[in-house]
Amino acid sequence: MKHTLFILLSLLLAGCGLSGITQPTLFYTLTAADPVPQNNTPKTNISIGLGPISLPLLLDRPQMVLRKSNTEIDVDEFHRWGEELKSNLSHVMVRNLMHDLQTNRVAHYPWPEYRRLDYQVIIEIYQFEAQRGEQVVLEGVWSLVDRNTRQELAVEHFSFHVIMPSSAYTAVAEGHSQALRRLSQLIAARIQPLKPTSD
């Protein structure tokens, strides 16, 4: 009888030990384009302020969000962004624009009052999600404002679909980064022909 009780107690303790094992949380980050080479000639001599950038509350969270259907999402507790998504996104877009325009004259919102800027880029994101094993969707509206006259010069809708090679979360993070690269290239192409504004 004692032997049987000992075996049952051992199994119970082993089960409790196994149930205490939790899945490790993994963290991911968005990646930007390479830094601007020091000897490159700038494609523009204007100064740009990027921001504010807005995200839906659904996405403004530490967990990675995967869309399973039109009405169902998966918020993964064990796969998270290593930095606040809005902050990471904003810094990546600044670096992307610096790379695409070959200039260092891109400021991150909020910038100091003494910073004199020619134009401001405002981005409102409606969708920035992954469909597991399929694609990352980035959709929203960006606008261009003349910092001298405060006039809104352009408002443009954007929608990018980046096909993911796999359902791995590293592929999800890379898909998000590629979508931001495409948005940066679009904005840079519109900005490049502009001239500095007069004071």
Instruction: Give the pLDDT mean for 102-130.
Output: 92
Say which DSSP state 100 is in: H
Radius of gyration of the chain (CA): 23
Rounded Cα gap, residues 90 and 107, in angstroms: 10
* Pairwise pLDDT comparison (36 vs 152), residue with the higher score: 152
Would residue 38 be called left, alpha or beta, if left means φ above 0 and alpha means ψ between -120 and 50 degrees? alpha
DSSP designation for 185: H
Beta carbons of 91 and 50 less than 8 angstroms apart:
no
123-179 pLDDT, tens digit per residue, is 999 999 988 668 999 999 999 999 988 899 999 999 999 999 888 899 999 999 999
What per-residue confidence (pLDDT) applies to 199? 52
Q: What single-letter amino acid sits at 3?
A: H
Answer whether 99's CB lies under 8 Å from 181's CB. Answer: no
Q: Where are the domains of the chain?
A: 42-191
Q: Where does residue 163 rank: exposed (0-12), middle (13-18), buried (19+ CB within 10 A)?
A: exposed
Structural fold of domain 42-191:
Rossmann fold (3.40.50)
The distance of Cα 56 from the centroid of its chain, to the nearest Å, equals: 12
The pTM assigned to this predicted structure is 0.84
| Pairwise pLDDT comparison (15 vs 171), residue with the higher score | 171
